[in-house]
Chains A and B, each alone.
Chain A
Amino acid sequence: MKVLVAVKRVIDYNVKVRVKPDNSDVDLNNVKMAMNPFCEIAVEEAVRLKEKGVATEIVVVSIGPKVAQEQIRTSLALGADRGILIETDEKLESLTVAKLLKAVVEKEQPQLVVLGKQSIDSDNNQTGQMLGALTGLPQGTFASEVVVDGDKVNVTREVDAGLRTVGLSLPAIVTTDLRLNEPRYASLPNIMKAKRKPLEVVSPADLGVEIKSTQTVVKVTPPAERSAGIKVADVAELVEKLKNEAKVL
């Protein structure tokens, strides 16, 4: 079974994000970049499927500038077999990404597509669902457990009321939630081996997709600074403040 995993290059989760002085965007200058944590979980899940003997080949795809190769190499070091970079310096929205991924799905014909449920930079939580709609494949989002059973995959999803398990017929699309697994660390020998694994670079035009922008960013502002908390003398004062100041009671 072939598994396709999509990974995104984002600001490292440890970095304190800064906004550009003109409020046009987030400042990416000299900022440490890394693989989106949810994508790391997706790669790990695919590698575990391969270790179980379920998956036979893991293809990793990323879309972005040339340097996004780093995230593909990291995936290869974690255990993926080959990589595809759709190279573009354009700013991408979820729908464009989904269209590009659809083209890759058509070309590669994977049985399972695994994506992170969202990326920690824009937090859109759209790409997996859009890809499902565009390809017409069944989708299981926010997976906390993925079990492949013959030509079906059972995806346990984290929903507000608890857990819901959906059975999808393959090929299918799965997006990963935080508790699906804990990604491994790339071992030194595997990092060295990753260099020898194939990495194909294509352009959006090669896949017949035109990059169009339908959205414009009006303004980017940092969240309001939190002011320090206060101490209340007793319960009565607390209730009074909750009622009259916070207006939550």
Chain B
Amino acid sequence: MATDLQGLGLGLASRFATNPIVQKYKLAKPAEKFAYISTKKGFEFAQKLMANKAKKKQQANGDIKALPAPPPLFDLSLSDEQQMIRDSVKAYAESNIRPLALAADEDAKLPENLLLESQDLGLNYFAIPEALGGAGQLSPMTNALVAEDLAWGDFSLAYAILSSSSVVNTISRWGNKQQQELWLPKFCTQATDANDVFSAAIAVQEPQPLFNSNELTTKAKKNKKGYVINGIKSFIPLAGKANLYLVAAKFKGKNQIFIVPANTKGLKFKSSPAMGLRSAEIGTLKLDKVQVNKNALLGADNPPSKTFHYGTFVDSGNLAWCAMAIGCCQAALDYLIPYVNERFAFGEPISHRQSVAFMIADMKIEIESMRLLVWKAASRFERSEKFHRDAFLAHQLCIEKSMEIGTNAVQLLGGHGFTKEHPAERWYRDLRILAVINGGLQL
């Protein structure tokens, strides 16, 4: 209401200031000043009016409370904890992930102890409710930060590490009591052997042209024992390796998620090494008359406030892709800046050439824009506000720009960029995923 009043005042006053008579008699400056003062006063008055009204209302209720301080108008600073998390994850990524990336990509194999050692960060039980042994922090914003910094170390290995936490986040957010009690504590146990790490993966993507995550061909049907699922899923990280899968399937005309343990009969995994994200051990999964029990439907019998929302699930997945892409792009930029300053051609650093300097500057602008859009969407999600549009915008920008940054990273390194001597070619291949997953660019 206060803003409406101020708007009205501003409209009237500026109409007055731009009036030809006022202009003619050189009254414009004083008039503008008048407009400013009057609207400011009007705004203050309106605020007082509202405060009084609120006060009266509270007095009528019998308890008087101070008005809450207004939130800062535009503040993107992270909390102390978030900053500490960033520092910790980035340091981890630098010394424990980056050095493994090259060999892991060549071998298309997850380093043996990666999941075991990354338990130290506590990513998996971060979101799990305290009652079940976790830290009780379900924070999309923090997740975006973690995804970015891990992927700064390496996109593909970050994807593998985050695979389990994305499942944990999903079950923590939407799973019913029984599902949470059954599955979440398994992620809290600190394994001491690489084979004992409990891992999980999400299976949404399907191998049809122009795959649309809303038009699933994987179908579930109810029967006496529970549900039967049929279909093919592609692009699953840790395929055949993970202990648990969240499979998206159409059930009674609605998109749902089913919790499928790896030892269920009828699951057939096939590895499908790809152009990028090779060390995440991506594969396809064929579900042939897979029988799961009655409590496999995620969030079944939940109260309406906790009902599973497939759109939100897909959007948050896209945000995770975006955040990882940002981390990878940032890694490329951090690699390129010293390179272009140190690489000499024609007697000077190549960064002295505008064609090079402009590309670097554009990259920085684009990465910052991607980050801002992702943070906006994630923070709206965190506050339980609608964020579909924000996630969509972020996703579109990240699809386009991460491909561009990937290819420019190779270009700026020249012939070197094409070789395996530098990580740019790997980043280029990894970043290509954004445009093909979840329908990608064409959808």
Contacts and interface: CB of A to CB of B under 8 A. Distances in A.
Contact of B123 (A77, A184, A188, A194): A188
Contacts of A184: 120
Contacts of A192: 81, 126, 135, 137
A195 B79 CA distance: 11
Interface in B200-242: none
A139 interface: no
A184 B91 CA distance: 10
Given A70-B80, A195-B81, A188 B120 contact: no
Which applies to chain B's interface (DSSP): helix, strand, loop or mixed? helix
Interface string B59-94: 000000000000000000000110011011101100
Contact of A189 (B89, B92, B122): B122
B88 A185 contact: yes
A187 B88 CA distance: 8
Contact of B85 (A34, A70, A191, A193): A191
A186 B122 CA distance: 9
Contacts of B92: 185
Nearest to A193: B135
B121 interface: yes
B391 interface: no
A21 B280 CA distance: 50
Interface in B158-210: none
Contacts of A77: 84, 88
Nearest to A184: B120
B85 A188 contact: yes
A210 to B, nearest CB: 32
A73 interface: yes
> Which of A73, A191, A192 neighbours the largest number of chain B CB atoms within 10 Å of its CB?
A191
A74 interface: yes
A188 B122 contact: yes
> Which of B134, B135, B137 neighbours the largest number of chain A CB atoms within 10 Å of its CB?
B135
Interface string B107-144: 00000000000001111011000000011010000100
Contacts of B87: 34, 74
Nearest to B146: A188
B91 A185 contact: yes
Contacts of A186: 84, 88
Contacts of B89: 185, 188
B120 A191 contact: no
Contacts of B80: 70, 73, 195
Contact of B122 (A74, A190, A194, A195): A190
Nearest to B125: A189
B91 to A, nearest CB: 6
> Which of B81, B126, B146 neighbours the largest number of chain A CB atoms within 10 Å of its CB?
B81
B187 to A, nearest CB: 12
The interface size bin for chain B is: 20 to 34
A189 B142 CA distance: 12
A189 B84 contact: no
Contacts of B81: 191-192, 194-195
Contacts of B126: 188-189, 192
Nearest to A32: B87
B150 to A, nearest CB: 12
Contact of A74 (B84, B120, B125, B137): B84
A27 B88 CA distance: 25
A191 B84 contact: yes
A47 to B, nearest CB: 13
A73 B87 CA distance: 13
A185 B120 contact: yes
A192 B87 CA distance: 14
B58 to A, nearest CB: 32
Contacts of B146: 188
A194 B84 CA distance: 11
Contacts of B137: 188-189, 192
B122 A187 contact: yes
Nearest to B133: A189
B276 to A, nearest CB: 27
Nearest to B82: A191
A162 to B, nearest CB: 29
A195 B82 CA distance: 12
B84 A187 contact: no
Nearest to B123: A188
Contacts of A70: 80, 84
A77 B135 CA distance: 13
> Which of B84, B85, B121, B146 neighbours the largest number of chain A CB atoms within 10 Å of its CB?
B84
A73 B81 CA distance: 9
Nearest to B79: A195
Contacts of B88: 77, 185-188, 191
Contacts of A191: 81, 84-85, 88
B390 to A, nearest CB: 25
A189 B146 CA distance: 13
A188 to B, nearest CB: 5
A173 to B, nearest CB: 29
Contacts of A195: 80-81
Contacts of B120: 184-185, 187
Interface string A146-188: 0000000000000000000000000000000000000011111
Contacts of A193: 135
Interface of A: 34, 70, 73-74, 77, 184-195
| 3 closest residue pairs by CB, A with B | A187-B122, A189-B135, A186-B88
Given A187-B120, A192-B81, 7 more contacts: A185-B88, A186-B84, A187-B121, A187-B122, A191-B81, A191-B84, A194-B81
18 contacts: A34-B87, A70-B80, A77-B84, A184-B120, A185-B88, A185-B92, A185-B120, A185-B121, A187-B88, A187-B120, A187-B121, A187-B122, A188-B89, A188-B121, A188-B137, A189-B135, A191-B81, A195-B80
